[in-house]
Amino acid sequence: MQPIWCPGCGDYGALQSCVRALQELGRKPKDTVIVSGIGCSGRLPYFVDAYGFHTLHGRALPIALGVKLANPDLTVIVVGGDGDGFGIGGGHVPHIARRNVDITYLILDNGVYALTKGHSSPTTSPGQRTPSAVRGEEAKPLDIVGLLLAYRSSFIAAAHTADRPTLTSIIKEGILHPGFSAIHIYSPCPTYNELMTPDSLRESIRLLPQSHDRHNFASAIAAHYGNNGFVGGILYQEKDSAPLNPRREPASESQRRFLELAGRYA
């Protein structure tokens, strides 16, 4: 299917980078599943030659967990918006992170609920006027990378869709990472958010220097908070990350019971 996003939508860049990453890694469509939530971003699986599951608003992560438990050999990618993942679905992210499920999560953040015509999302800028905040947004925006750091995700990266080569290489590394790889991607919505543009992203987001030690958690925190949250690259990657693996002996009684329960539904 041809994409039906508006002209200039950042999600085209995310789509291109995602497909290129899968191609460059030689992942075959039959071995790949893209699971999405609801939103403009949630349409992405339609446009990729792989298995896709357009799920419910905010519920892509638990469904992806089920897919991965049922067949751990699959490459599982989750795509969702800022509202999908950090509004209605915000309660799922920490639990996928702490279980270190081996999936790659592409968070397409456009700062609005675009599909439902531009009302405020958890990342809308303070003062920004939207149909649900006509005098300007009063709430503080969520810091998505800050949350991923707090959840101790085993792979945390940030990128934007106006720099597709960097985004592609980060997605590749995220797919190769054994565990939960979460990538915060600024993806402009020219229809409903005039504050976020490709130029503003290129100007404000600085790539991490080569010297950044991605295995050092304290360095990741310093890089993120030292730049007001506007850095691109791989901030953190846990060394010796051990993902949840249903084929391995469970490490504890509670893990065994969790896997047994999940297996019953798989």
Give the interface with ligand SF4 as residue ranges (CB under 6 A): 5-6, 9, 11, 40, 110, 114, 189-192
Q: Residue 106, SS3?
A: strand
- Residue 84 interacts, among ligand TPP, ligand SF4, Mg ion, none and using kind-specific CB cut-offs from 5 to 8 Å, with ligand TPP
Sign of CA dihedral 225, 90, 4, 47: positive
Q: With beta carbons less than 8 A apart as the criterion, state whether 75 and 83 touch.
A: no
Please, what is the minimum distance in Å from the beta carbon of residue 17 to ligand SF4? 16
**Residue 196 is a binding residue for ligand TPP (CB under 6 A):** no
In this complex, which beta carbon is closest to ligand TPP, that of residue 6 or of residue 262? 6
From ligand TPP, Mg ion, ligand SF4, none, which one binds at residue 6 (CB under 5 to 8 Å depending on kind)? ligand SF4
Do residues 27 and 104 make contact, with C-beta atoms less than 8 angstroms apart?
Answer: no
Q: Which is nearer to ligand SF4, 42 or 232 (CB)?
A: 42
Pairing mode, strands 51-54 and 32-36: parallel
Q: Is 82 near ligand TPP (CB under 6 A)?
A: yes
Could you say which residues in the range 206-235 bind ligand TPP, by CB under 6 A?
A: none
Q: What is the dihedral of CA 39, 44, 47, 51, to 10 degrees?
A: -110
Instruction: Let me know: does 21 contact 171? Beta carbons within 8 Å.
Output: yes
Beta pairing partners, 32: 75
Tell me the Cα Rg of the chain. Answer: 18
Binding string, 91-110, against ligand TPP, x = CB under 6 A? -----------------x-x
Q: Decide if 81 contacts 121 (C-beta within 8 A).
A: yes
Torsion angle of alpha carbons 3, 23, 64, 31, nearest 10°?
120
> Mask: binding to ligand TPP, 31-50, rule CB under 6 A, as x and -?
-------xxxx---------
Q: At a CB cut-off of 8 Å and minimum separation 6, what does 134 contact?
A: none
The partner in contact with residue 237, picked from Mg ion, ligand TPP, ligand SF4, none with C-beta cut-offs of 5 to 8 angstroms by kind, is none
Q: Which of 243, 256, 261 is nearest to 98 (CA)?
A: 243
Partner whose footprint covers residue 191, from ligand TPP, Mg ion, ligand SF4, none (CB < 5 to 8 Å by kind): ligand SF4
Kindly state whether residue 81 participates in binding Mg ion, applying the rule CB under 5 A.
yes
The tally of CA atoms less than 13 A away on the side-chain side of residue 17 is 28
| Residue 100 three-state SS | coil
Q: Which of 82, 137, 163, 238 binds Mg ion (CB under 5 A)?
A: 82
Of 195 and 221, which has the nearer Cβ to Mg ion? 195
For the bound state, the minimum distance from the C-beta of residue 109 to ligand SF4, rounded and expressed in Å, comes to: 11
Q: How far is the CB of 123 from Mg ion (least distance, A)?
A: 8
Residues that bind ligand TPP (CB under 6 A): 38-41, 57, 81-84, 88, 108, 110, 112-116, 121
Residues that bind Mg ion (CB under 5 A): 81-82, 110
